Amino acid sequence: MATTTASVAISSSDLQPGNRLSINASSTLMQTGLTTGLELMEMGKGKLTEASAADALHESLGTADTANWVYICNNATDDTHYIKVGIHETIIGNLGAGDWMWMPWNMSDGDAEINIEAEPTGATIPYEYAIFKSTYTLPAKT
C-alpha cells in the first residue's frame, strides 16, 4: 500500500495583532475514506496562455464521489498574473502568482472536470500540478 502524507503550516505574526497565528495539520490520504492509501497519481507542469481560454487540467474520468486530491501551483512572478481555477462551470477561486492550492475533489459526476484559465490578457503562466486519485479510467482512443 502506498502512503501519501500532506501537511500544511500557516503562520502570521501580524494578521491578528496580539495573537500569533500558527496552524499545523497533516493527513494521510486514503481511498474513499478507507484504510487503503491512494495508489494513482499524475504530476506535471506546463504553461498556460490567456489566449487558450479555460482548459481542462483533468477530466472527471474516475468513479464518482470518491476521494481524490488536487495540487496546483501558479509559478508566475508577475503579481498581476493569476489562474482561475474551476470545477466545470463553477469558479472556485483565483490562484495568484506564487500561490498554491490543495483541494479535495470527489469527481461528483462526469461534468466535474478541473479547469484552469490564465488571466489577464496576454498572460503566459507557468504552473505545476499533481493529482492523487482513488480510481481513474483512461480516455477512450479517438
Partner 1 sequence: MATTNATISVGSDIMSYPVRINKTMTMKKFQSCHGLEETSGLRTKKFTVTTETVVVEQDEFTSTKACKVYMRNTGSDKAHYFYVAKHASAAAATTDAEVIGKLYGGDWMLIPYLADVNITVASSSTDPVVLEYMVFAE
Are 88 and 54 contacting, i.e. CB atoms less than 8 angstroms apart?
no
Can you tell me which residue has the cell 502512503?
3
Comparing CB distances to partner 1, the nearer of 47 and 78 is: 78
* Residue 35 DSSP one-character state: S
CB of 23 to partner 1, least distance (A): 7
CB of 142 to partner 1, least distance (A): 28
* Grid coordinates given for 8: 500544511
**Among the listed residues 33, 16, 93, 100, the one whose alpha carbon sits nearest the alpha carbon of residue 68:** 33
Comparing CB distances to partner 1, the nearer of 37 and 126 is: 37
Comparing CB distances to partner 1, the nearer of 3 and 137 is: 3
Beta strand 69-74 pairing with 124-133? antiparallel
Comparing CB distances to partner 1, the nearer of 49 and 77 is: 77
Whole-number Å distance between alpha carbons of 73 and 129: 6
CB of 123 to partner 1, least distance (A): 11
Whole-number Å distance between alpha carbons of 91 and 32: 25
Binding site for partner 1 (CB under 8 A): 2-16, 21, 23, 25-30, 33-35, 37-41, 43, 64-65, 67-69, 71, 73, 79-80, 82, 85, 87-106, 108-109, 112, 130, 132
CB of 127 to partner 1, least distance (A): 12
